[in-house]
Chain A
Amino acid sequence: EADIYQTPRYLVIGTGKKITLECSQTMGHDKMYWYQQDPGMELHLIHYSYGVNSTEKGDLSSESTVSRIRTEHFPLTLESARPSHTSQYLCASSETGAGIYEQYFGPGTRLTVT
């Protein structure tokens, strides 16, 4: 069973607030990812990281930012939340190496901005 955690699971917050979504994994994976998923839609990659101090933007443009100061921790921050940020955010990680490895997903954070 994958050991990847996300907090909070649900968050309702007002427009303009700063928020941080937490993601942690205990598997020692170097690669971590953030996806955005709207209801009934596919997942879109918004950020990824190969390791500490490495972060890249994904395929879907996002106003959020990420940091990777520790291997196990990959938080996502929105400086000023807007209703358009309402979505589910999923964090994932995968093994290091040149091969193809499956990604392990956390339970997600469902964000609602009012």
Chain B
Amino acid sequence: AQSVTQLDSQVPVFEEAPVELRCNYSSSVSVYLFWYVQYPNQGLQLLLKYLSGSTLVKGINGFEAEFNKSQTSFHLRKPSVHISDTAEYFCAVSTISGGYNKLIFGAGTRLAVHP
């Protein structure tokens, strides 16, 4: 069965510093990977996705992620964070089973950006 592990439950960082949110997955088949962001009292918004092709994926708000098949990782990075990046970030893996597009989420990483 597929699973997603987000290695850090909380990441505090100062404004304008770089950040990396770590995500590892387990899967024996082709994987499709996503990062979502959830701002307080809101739903999830897609940051970026990896379906195939280049292993470096660029998303919205200056975020990027790198798919590493040998390490089964899909870490999210931003070179310089803003206060407004404070939110919960979820890594997810998707597969198709019986025609059903299923998303499995990690437990989330709370990014807290301090001035």
Contact surface of A with B, Cβ cutoff 8 Å: 4, 6, 9, 31, 40-43, 45, 48, 50, 56, 90, 92, 94, 98, 100-108, 110
Contact = CB atoms under 8 A, between A and B. Distances in A.
Interface size class of B (residues with CB under 8 A): 20 to 34
B47 to A, nearest CB: 10
A100 B96 contact: yes
A11 to B, nearest CB: 14
Interface of B: 4, 9, 32, 34, 36, 41-46, 49, 51, 90, 94, 96, 99-103, 105-108, 110
B107 A42 contact: yes
Nearest to A91: B43
A94 B46 CA distance: 12
Given A50-B100, A94-B101, A103-B103, A42 B90 contact: yes
Contact of B103 (A41, A45, A98): A45
B108 A40 contact: yes
Contacts of B36: 105
Given A42-B108, A105-B36, A108-B43, 11 more contacts: A9-B41, A40-B9, A40-B110, A41-B108, A42-B106, A42-B107, A90-B44, A92-B43, A100-B101, A102-B49, A103-B101
B11 to A, nearest CB: 14
Contacts of A92: 43-44
Contacts of A90: 43-44
Nearest to B45: A105
B36 to A, nearest CB: 8
24 contacts: A4-B43, A6-B43, A40-B9, A40-B107, A41-B107, A42-B90, A43-B105, A45-B103, A50-B100, A90-B44, A92-B43, A92-B44, A100-B32, A100-B94, A101-B101, A102-B34, A102-B46, A102-B49, A103-B103, A104-B46, A105-B36, A105-B44, A107-B41, A110-B41
